[in-house]
Amino acid sequence: MTSLSDWKVPAGAQPRPEDYAYDLDAALSSVVGLRTLVPADAFTAETLGTERTGHGVVIRSSGLILTIGYLITEAETVWLHLGDGRVVPGHAMAFDQETGLGLVQPLARLDLPALPFGKSAAAQTGERVVVAGAGGRERSVAARIVGKQEFAGYWEYVLDEAIFTAPAHPNWGGTAMIGPKGELLGIGSLQLERGGAKGDGEYLNMVVPIDLLPPILDDLLSSGHSRKPARPWLGIYSTEAENRIVIVGLAPRGPAERAGLRAGDVIVAIDGEEVGDLAGLYRSIWSLGTAGVEVPLTIYRDGDTFDVGVNSGDRAKFLKAPKFH
């Protein structure tokens, strides 16, 4: 993964202070670099790596950091890299499975300003934003919102309305999407390619809206997770192919692998109801109850169609818990 210091955004894509009605440099100073180390035997080590780098943003005067959760999932060691060259240890405090957001508590004073929350629901397509990385203007992108729509990820994840921005930030994980008033509108999660009519694709960033955080923030601060009952999780990695849902991978030792499912299996139906898209698949599974419920699947494999019941699990129970310093 790209290191914290060996890259820059091209000069033409960097934000210019005169283009914004707020103090751009002050807002960018709220963004910090994030580096985490994860044990080799962690559940997510194979898919996400054992060393992860990205960004986070200060959201409280205490120094509380908001980031994207995959950077800190199962992390034993967390380092925060500040603009003045300091490196401060941190603690992976919370990770919310549904939103994908995570919190880090610094273990020393940061003395950085907190970025205020905006209202991501009010942000409009076409609006000018800054996708901010740690390191100021040289590591931030002047972008626009190019879409707001549902997003379904292959790892059993759905956002009702994700935000998409372009041009894409090259080191997107945990970036801060800053709105026209200098307010925090979301946290960078992914880079995606949107195909053009002539094959000239455009890269976008998918951003998790900030409006998802306030309803769960108190729970995350007090217990490290949302207090809502855990959704049923199967441990499947899936994709849409010609209006079919195809399993392309399985979480090791996960519920689906234990039930005998395989890569290449086609999921035809959930509890007798046909499914043809990822969001519909996941919502059908989640509608059956909470983690532990049996999920009845209809599977097509090698010319045969058959039914199988998968005893779902709680994804969080497969992960290493954070260690306090």
The pLDDT value recorded for residue 94 is: 95
pTM for the model = 0.94
The reported pLDDT for the residue numbered 168 is 97
pLDDT in tens, 135-180: 999 999 999 999 999 999 999 999 999 999 999 999 999 999 999 9
What is the model's pLDDT at position 321? 79
CA-CA distance, 325 to 320, in Å (whole number)? Answer: 15
How much is the average pLDDT of 244-267? 97
Q: Is the pLDDT score of 200 beyond 80?
A: no
pLDDT of the residue at 37: 97
Question: What is residue 110's predicted lDDT score, i.e. its pLDDT?
Answer: 96
Q: What is the pLDDT of residue 195?
A: 72
| pLDDT bracket for residue 196 (50, 70, 90) | low
The region that residue 135 occupies, defined by phi over 0 for left and psi between -120 and 50 for alpha, beta otherwise, is: left
Share of the chain above pLDDT 90, in %: 90
Of the pLDDT bands very low, low, confident and very high (cuts 50, 70, 90), residue 3 is low
Q: Note the pLDDT of residue 2.
A: 45
Judged against a pLDDT cut of 60, whether residue 324 lies above it is answered with no
Share of the chain above pLDDT 70, in %: 96
Domains and CATH numbers, the chain: 16-114+217-223 (2.40.10.120), 120-212 (2.40.10.10), 236-317 (2.30.42.10)
For 51-76, write each residue's pLDDT tens digit: 999 999 999 999 999 999 999 999 99
User: How large is the C-alpha radius of gyration of the chain?
Assistant: 20
Residue 224 is predicted with a pLDDT of: 87
User: Average per-residue pLDDT in the chain?
Assistant: 94
pLDDT band at 198 (very low <50, low <70, confident <90, very high): low
Q: Which two tokens stand for residue 146?
A: 């190019």
CA torsion angle for 168, 169, 171, 176 (degrees, to 10)?
Answer: -120
- Residues 76, 90: contact at Cβ < 8 Å? no
| DSSP E strand stretches across the chain | 31-37, 51-58, 65-68, 77-81, 87-95, 101-106, 128-132, 140-153, 157-166, 176-178, 184-194, 202-209, 236-241, 244-250, 266-270, 273-274, 294-301, 304-311
Give residue-wise pLDDT tens across range 74-130: 999 999 999 999 999 999 999 999 999 999 999 999 999 999 999 999 999 999 999
pLDDT at position 194 is 83
